[in-house]
């Protein structure tokens, strides 16, 4: 009898616990900054806030039983750098699988532009913004042709602008190279060589100027001290706006 009573009591307690646990629910997707969609999921069994990436590239924010959406958003804000890095990696992988064709959109001089594939007198031509690229015949993917053209533009324009700004600032440089760095927009060597990422051709002119000045100021201060940033601010008073643009657009640039 005692065993039966204990079993019955345990069953009732389990039912009570189960009844008190709220079911997991998904809120409406949140349109966050950087064009990122965040799906907020309340999980009664979760012990802490969790942030991850869904297979479709959207973010997934898990809020524990006693958590709040407001605190979840604060957690999301604190994890911004991590999330942007993960989304950049995801877009690079997924975007690499998609061929560039008529209608593909990408950044050029800070503006989104459409790629157009048109018939020409001999073969085809690719057109975007004010640029035209002749191609002899149709290709399954025009990415390489477009990016090769962008790299040629960068190799012509970025060194010229760097020397102009160096002259204006009274800074001596030895050489300017345009490369395909994976994690940097630019660098400055102790010997005075400025290296710039070719993808800067996709950024607006004021951002390009800021990044060049950023590297030029390392000819005076090879660090990121307070003195260095004062030099940057003096040469480029609006540099914070340029940094904000880079922060909000780096995913598109890397793609």
**pTM of full prediction above 0.85:** no
Show the domains of the chain with their CATH numbers. 17-95 (no CATH), 99-144 (no CATH), 147-254 (3.30.2010.10)
For β-strands 59-63 and 37-42, DSSP reports them as parallel
At 36-52, the pLDDT tens digits run 889 999 988 888 999 98
Question: Residue 3: what pLDDT?
Answer: 42
The one-character DSSP state at 184 is -
Question: Residue 118: what pLDDT?
Answer: 94
Question: Residue 197: what pLDDT?
Answer: 94
Question: Residue 207: what pLDDT?
Answer: 95
CB 49 within 8 A of CB 62: yes
Question: Residue 182: what pLDDT?
Answer: 77
Residues of the chain short of pLDDT 70, as ranges, are 1-28, 92-97, 250-255
Tokens of 111: 């503006």
- Cα(38)–Cα(36) distance, integer angstroms: 6
Tokens of 227: 């003195």
- Cα(105)–Cα(96) distance, integer angstroms: 14
- Cα(71)–Cα(61) distance, integer angstroms: 11
CB 200 within 8 A of CB 214: no
Question: Residue 8: what pLDDT?
Answer: 45
The strands making up 116-119's β-sheet, listed across from edge to edge, are 116-119, 124-128, 131-135
- Cα(144)–Cα(225) distance, integer angstroms: 40
């Amino acid at each position: 009898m005692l065993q039966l009573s204990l079993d019955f009591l345990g069953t009732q307690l389990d039912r009570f616990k189960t009844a008190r646990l709220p079911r997991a629910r998904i809120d409406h997707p949140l349109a966050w900054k950087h064009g990122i969609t965040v799906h907020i999921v309340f999980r009664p069994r979760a012990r802490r806030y969790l942030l991850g990436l869904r297979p479709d590239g959207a973010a997934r924010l898990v809020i524990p039983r006693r958590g709040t959406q407001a605190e979840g958003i604060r957690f999301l804000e604190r994890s911004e750098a991590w999330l942007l890095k993960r989304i950049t990696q995801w877009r690079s992988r997924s975007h690499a699988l998609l061929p560039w064709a008529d209608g593909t959109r990408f950044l050029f001089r800070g503006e989104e532009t459409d790629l157009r594939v048109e018939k020409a007198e001999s073969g085809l031509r690719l057109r975007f913004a004010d640029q035209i690229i002749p191609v002899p015949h149709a290709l399954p993917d025009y990415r390489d042709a477009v990016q090769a053209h962008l790299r040629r533009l960068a190799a012509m324009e970025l060194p010229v602008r760097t020397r102009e700004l160096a002259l204006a600032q009274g800074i001596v440089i030895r050489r300017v190279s345009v490369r395909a760095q994976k994690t940097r927009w630019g660098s400055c060597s102790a010997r005075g060589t400025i290296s710039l990422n070719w993808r800067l051709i996709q950024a607006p002119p004021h951002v390009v100027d800021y990044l060049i000045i950023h590297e030029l100021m390392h000819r005076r201060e090879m660090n990121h001290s307070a003195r260095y940033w004062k030099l940057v601010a003096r040469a480029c008073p609006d540099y914070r706006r340029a940094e904000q643009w880079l922060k909000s657009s780096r995913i598109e640039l890397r793609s």
